[in-house]
């Protein structure tokens, strides 16, 4: 097959709020080849990634992503790797947004290939089965500890034994206020539940401020403390991992290539590596990080806060690995992401989830949803239209 077309669709809620909720817009890619279609999403500022797709070449190392994709051969996973290598070689300097942009395309390539071969992506990766994972509910902290308590109780009532709280007021007030939120979350979940805390890089470079929260986190027996500092600050992760009381660290959603994730494992001292296939360059690099995590004895977990197609894309890379038994499960997506797909990864009667045993991603996009939330973009260079929102 030859890649005939790649279309980019910027979708957005009518109103986008200034809160830590990444499900308010999206960038969907549709790839066509050999009579088949594949879809994927990038976790990226849509307009910025659209620009990186069609930006005029600056030099041999700063091509737009389109130059490495259209017209390429697509018959095997090796062909996807060859396209990824070409993107790196042609877009490695000055157009770093291309890492995110290509993530969505790469997922669509796997989806298309799986549909053409009538195989789930996890099989194309060499896994024999889609193993069950325990879904953890990923929610924002309440505005007050009372609200956090209420949210935790409600999630527990809905059947979740593993819940992650993040963002919102955490790290923006006092150490005591954060402790109140942490203990409220623990109380709501109960002593037997898995509790995770996501700081959303709120402490930036301030590793001491991040460390001041360790005491409460330890007392509340949290499973992990996620992204306390800037994603790139691997040395600060290491620093924090050696402090007392010791609390396991998690991170990796900010890795936009596999090396950053592998260094976070090898040098940063994290015990949980969280990868978003829509960010790290797609399913290929996420799979490599999962294999690296096996070797290093670190837990691999998906990062997903949006749609069920994104959830599937982030689960395939570790679908066949029994030892990685936890999966982030988006609980509060905005209507855009809730309506994005025709089918879902439902929680089964035993409380577990698994990637569908269906061709490609195993999750179908609803083109009516894309049409409903579609944003009209036009980019012109010297009067010539470089990009105009295509029809879906």
Q: Which of residues 263-282 bind a copy of itself (CB under 8 A)?
A: 263, 266-267, 279
Residue 123 or 262: which CB sits closer to a copy of itself?
Answer: 262
Nearest to 141 by CA among 89, 186, 192: 186
Sole window of 176-184, 231-239, 337-345, 363-371 interacting with a copy of itself (rule: CB under 8 A) = 231-239
Q: Which among 233, 232, 3, 231 is positioned nearest to 102, based on CA atoms?
A: 3
Query: Considering only residues 94-153, where is the footprint of a copy of itself by CB under 8 A?
Result: 94-97, 99-100
Dihedral angle computed from the Cα positions of residues 321, 326, 331 and 337, in that order, rounded to the nearest 10 degrees: -20
Q: Does 219 bind a copy of itself (CB under 8 A)?
A: no
Q: Contacting a copy of itself (CB under 8 A), which of 2, 70, 93, 351?
A: 93
Tell the residue number behind the tokens 């130059």, with chain if given: 67
Would you say 337 and 286 are in contact if contact means Cβ atoms under 8 Å apart? no
383 CB-contact burial (10 Å; exposed 0-12 / middle 13-18 / buried 19+)? exposed
Alpha-carbon span 134 to 139, nearest angstrom: 16
Q: What CA–CA distances, in Å, run from 58 to 20, 52, 98, 137?
A: 34, 12, 14, 44
Please report whether residue 43 would count as binding a copy of itself according to CB under 8 A: yes
From the list 111-119, 179-187, 241-249, 260-268, the region that binds a copy of itself by CB under 8 A is 260-268
377 binds a copy of itself (CB under 8 A): yes
- Note whether 226 binds a copy of itself by CB under 8 A: no
Distance separating alpha carbons of residues 194 and 199, to the nearest angstrom = 17
CB nearer to a copy of itself: give 161 or 257.
257
Quick check: 295 binds a copy of itself (CB under 8 A)?
no
48 vs 76 by CB, closer to a copy of itself:
48
Q: Which of 21, 106, 123, 198 binds a copy of itself (CB under 8 A)?
A: 21
Exactly one of 130, 148, 230, 309 binds a copy of itself (CB under 8 A); that residue is 230
- Compute the least distance from the CB of residue 205 to a copy of itself, in Å: 8
Q: Of residues 85, 208, 346, 357, which one binds a copy of itself by CB under 8 A? A: 85
Which three-class secondary structure state does DSSP give residue 338? helix
Among residues 382, 380, 390, 392, the alpha carbon closest in space to that of 54 is found at 380
Is residue 383 a contact residue for a copy of itself (CB under 8 A)?
yes
Q: What b-and-e string marks burial along 156-194, b requiring 16 or more CB atoms within 10 Å of the CB?
A: beeebbbbbbbbbbbbeeeeeebbbbbbbbbebbeeebb
Is position 380 an interface residue for a copy of itself (rule: CB under 8 A)?
Answer: yes
Size of the site for a copy of itself (CB under 8 A): 72
- 332 is an interface residue for a copy of itself by CB under 8 A: no
Q: Give yes or no for residue 386 binding a copy of itself (CB under 8 A).
A: yes
Part in contact with a copy of itself (CB under 8 A); list of ranges 173-181, 216-224, 225-233, 323-331: 225-233
> CA separation (Å) from 71 to 221, 303, 306?
53, 31, 30
**Under rule CB under 8 A, residue 249 binds a copy of itself:** no
* Binding to a copy of itself, residues 48-77 (CB under 8 A): 48, 50-52, 54-64
- Please give the structure tokens belonging to residue 36: 């088949």
Pick the piece of the chain touching a copy of itself (CB under 8 A) from 83-91, 321-329, 342-350, 351-359.
Answer: 83-91
Residues 152-191 touching a copy of itself, rule: CB under 8 A, are 167
| Pairwise CA distance, residues 255 & 275, whole Å | 7
- Whose Cβ is closer to a copy of itself: residue 91's or residue 341's? 91
């Amino acid at each position: 097959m030859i890649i005939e077309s790649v279309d980019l669709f910027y979708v957005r809620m009518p109103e986008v709020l200034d809160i830590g909720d990444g499900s308010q817009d999206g960038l969907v890619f549709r790839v066509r080849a050999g009579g088949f279609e594949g879809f994927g999403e990038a976790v990226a500022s849509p307009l910025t990634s659209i620009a990186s797709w069609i930006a005029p070449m600056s030099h041999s190392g700063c091509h737009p992503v389109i130059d490495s994709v259209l017209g390429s051969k697509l018959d095997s996973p090796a062909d996807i790797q060859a396209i990824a290598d070409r993107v790196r070689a042609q877009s490695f300097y000055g157009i770093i947004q291309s890492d995110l942009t290509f993530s969505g395309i790469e997922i669509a390539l796997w989806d298309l290939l799986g549909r053409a071969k009538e195989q789930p992506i996890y099989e194309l990766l060499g896994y024999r089965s889609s193993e069950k994972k325990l879904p953890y509910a990923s929610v924002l902290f309440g505005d007050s500890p009372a609200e956090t308590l209420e949210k935790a109780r409600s999630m527990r009532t809905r059947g979740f034994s593993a819940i992650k709280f993040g963002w919102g007021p955490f790290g923006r007030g006092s150490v005591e206020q954060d402790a109140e939120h942490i203990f409220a979350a623990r109380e709501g979940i109960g002593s037997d539940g898995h509790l995770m805390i996501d700081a959303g890089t709120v402490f930036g470079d301030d590793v001491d401020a991040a460390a001041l929260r360790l005491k409460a986190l330890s007392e509340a027996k949290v499973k992990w403390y996620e992204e306390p500092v800037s994603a790139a600050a691997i040395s600060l992760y290491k620093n924090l991992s050696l402090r007392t009381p010791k609390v396991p660290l998690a991170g990796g959603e900010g890795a936009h290539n596999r090396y950053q994730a592998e260094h976070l494992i090898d040098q940063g001292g994290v015990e949980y590596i969280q990868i978003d296939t829509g960010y790290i360059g797609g399913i290929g690099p996420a799979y490599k990080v999962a294999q690296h995590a096996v070797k290093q004895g670190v837990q691999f977990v998906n990062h997903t806060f949006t749609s069920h197609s994104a959830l599937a894309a982030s689960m395939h890379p570790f679908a066949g690995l029994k030892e990685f038994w936890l999966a982030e499960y988006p609980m509060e997506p905005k209507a855009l992401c809730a309506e994005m797909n025709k089918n879902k990864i439902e929680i089964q009667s035993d409380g577990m989830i698994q990637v569908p045993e269906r061709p490609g991603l195993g999750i179908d996009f609803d083109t009516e949803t894309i049409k409903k939330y579609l944003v009209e973009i036009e980019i012109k260079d010297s009067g010539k239209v470089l990009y105009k929102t295509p029809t879906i």
